[in-house]
Structures are given as structure tokens and as C-alpha cells.
Amino acid sequence: MSDHLDLIAKILAKAERTNHESERDMLFSRAQTLASRHSIDLALARQHTAKAEQREQPEERTVVIGASRTKGLARLVRLFVNIADINDVKCLIAGDSTVVYAYGFPSDIEVVEALYASLSVQMVHAADRYIRSGEHKSEMVRKPGHYKWVTCSEDDLYGVERFNPTTGGWTYRKQVWVDGEEKPISGHTARQNFYVGFVNRITARLRAAHNEAVKDAETEERGPVAEIAAAPLQSAPETPNLPTSVALALVEKQTAVDEFYEAEKKRQKVRGSWGGERRSNRNSTVSHGARKAGDRAGANAHLSSSKQIGN
């Protein structure tokens, strides 16, 4: 396990032990902040390194999300992709949402995998507890009326002959209207909405911690480092001790990842975009109660034991 992941793991283990939500939230944010600062430091180091020297390069890594046809895969993919985006990792997604291909610097991908490994488990377990509580059943949803096919006699005025795949024969069927009614939110609908609320809250927390880390790094840069930068050069411009812009280092890092990502897309002849989430959202019912429950779970989430990190 690398030193920075070891430190993050210790902070997260402490977050797991505390019973105070405010302290847990602070420790969780600190973990993402450290991950972001480590990423910034590596970007600055890469910028200082002579081009002729060996240095960390972007790579592709395959991450298995789940087995085909598993319910909720699209929401798990969304969690991974949002964590990856915050940590400067680009993704390609298999059409069936079972696998994500991550593109970025190895140290960043390690952080993304560690965060996802813990948060995905927490999200699923928190949703399980919510569904078992039956709280979602108190929310009613209006099911619209619709037509459905029913079997009828051969002499029915509205009957038509249709093939019945169940019996393998032809039967007379007709369409009848079924009135709409109010029903409790189903467990499946509640789970999908719970995931949406959880992912949205976690994304906001990680983004805030990342932005704070960048802000702190830039503030430090404008301190004594800025004074050094303004001083007359005492040696050749290639001197490795000269300060380097945080913003420039991050731009160069992102450019390297983007170029690698686009080259891989071209090499693999990738066309189109991931439609898993659109399919999940199609005709889906919004459960405000389940989304609020997911939001609360995301606000209280912390990362699991250090044994999951770096294994």
C-alpha cells in the first residue's frame, strides 16, 4: 500500500469508529482532501521532472461493477463515474453496465477504486435497511390507466386473432381499459430513487473536499512560493527548484489524461454514448421520500476499514 493511501486509510478507520456525525463528515472530507492534495503534488512533481526521466504515465484499468442483468447496475456505474470525474479519471462504460474502463494516472485510479469499493457497499446496505423498514410504503403513487390484452371468445365483436407465445397457438384477444389507481411505492422503485439521492449527496461532498484542496494548494502557492517566483533568476531557466503553477500542473495533467483517453477511444473505435442510465430513467417513478432517505445516508456515509484499501 502506498504511503498516501495508508494515511487515508487511517483517517477513514477513525471515521468508522466515531459516533458523532459531524466528526465523521469532517474526517470523510479530510480523506478526499488528502487524496486531492496528493494528486496535485504528483502533478507538480511530474511537471518538474525532466522529460528524459521515467515518470508516471496514464493507464487503462478494468473495473467490474457487477454481473449482467443485476438490478441497479446503472446507479453503481454513476457512483463510480462521479467519483472518477472528481479525481481526474475518465471512463468508458460497457453497454450492459457490467464493466467500467478507467483512464488516468495510476495513483488517481487507486483513490477512485478505494472510494468506490467502500461507498458502493454502504449505498447498497443502506438501501437494504431502508427497504426492510417499510418506510417507502407510506408514499403513494398514482398508476395511470392503461389498455391491456385479454382473452375473449371467437364471436366477440372486439376480438382479434393473435398469436399466443405461451401456448404456441392462435387465440382471440381484445384490449380492455384498466382504471388507474394509487399504490404504495414498490421496493424496486424506492431502491433506485434511494441510490439517486445517495450518489448526488456523495458527489457534492467529494467535490467540495476536492475544491477545498485545490484552493488550499493555490493559496500556499501565492505565499512564499510566489515571492520566489517574482525574484530574479539566479541560474538557468531549467533549474528544477523553480516554483510551478498549481493551475498549470493540473491543466497539463488533465491534458495528458484527455489525450490518452481520446487515443484509446479512437483505437477501440468507440462510437455513441452510454445509455444505461437513460434506460433506467425511462418511465421511472420519482419517489421523493426515497431520494431524501438516500440523501441522508449519503450525508452520513463514511469509508470502510483500511483493509479494503490497497488490497
**Helices 246-267 and 187-220 sit at what angle, rounded to 10 degrees?**
140
Q: What is the DSSP letter of 175?
A: E
Residue 297: pLDDT band by 50, 70, 90 thresholds? Answer: very high
Residue 177, helix vs strand vs coil: strand
- How far apart CA 224 and CA 230 sit, in angstroms, is 10
User: Do residues 107 and 90 lie in contact, with contact meaning Cβ atoms separated by under 8 Å?
Assistant: no
Q: List, for residues 222-277, the tens digit of each pLDDT value.
A: 654 344 334 443 333 343 443 457 777 778 888 889 999 999 988 888 877 787 77
- Domain range summary for the chain, segments of one domain joined by +: 3-141+182-224+245-308, 145-179
Higher pLDDT, 225 or 218: 218
Residue 202: pLDDT band by 50, 70, 90 thresholds? Answer: very high
- How far apart CA 27 and CA 303 sit, in angstroms, is 10
Most confident of 11-20, 106-115, 194-203, 300-309: 194-203
- How far apart CA 273 and CA 54 sit, in angstroms, is 35
Core vs surface per residue 152-167: b (16+ CB within 10 A) or e: beeeeeebeeeeeeee
- How far apart CA 2 and CA 106 sit, in angstroms, is 11
Q: List, for residues 241-250, the tens digit of each pLDDT value.
A: 434 577 777 7
Q: What is the pTM for the complete model shown?
A: 0.69
Written as nine digits, the cell of 53 is 526521466
Written as nine digits, the cell of 24 is 465523521
pLDDT(142) > 70 = yes
DSSP for 253-282, written as a single string: HHHHHHHHHHHHHHHTT--S---HHHHHHT
The set of long-range contacts for 48-57, using a CB threshold of 8 Å and a minimum separation of 24, is: 48/240, 48/244, 50/240, 56/105, 56/106, 56/107, 57/105, 57/256, 57/260
Residue 171, helix vs strand vs coil: strand
Q: What does the pLDDT read at residue 310?
A: 36
Residue 199: pLDDT band by 50, 70, 90 thresholds? Answer: very high
Mean pLDDT of the chain: 78
pLDDT(2) > 50 = yes
Q: What does the pLDDT read at residue 305?
A: 35
Q: Quickly tell me which residue has 517574482 as its cell.
A: 230
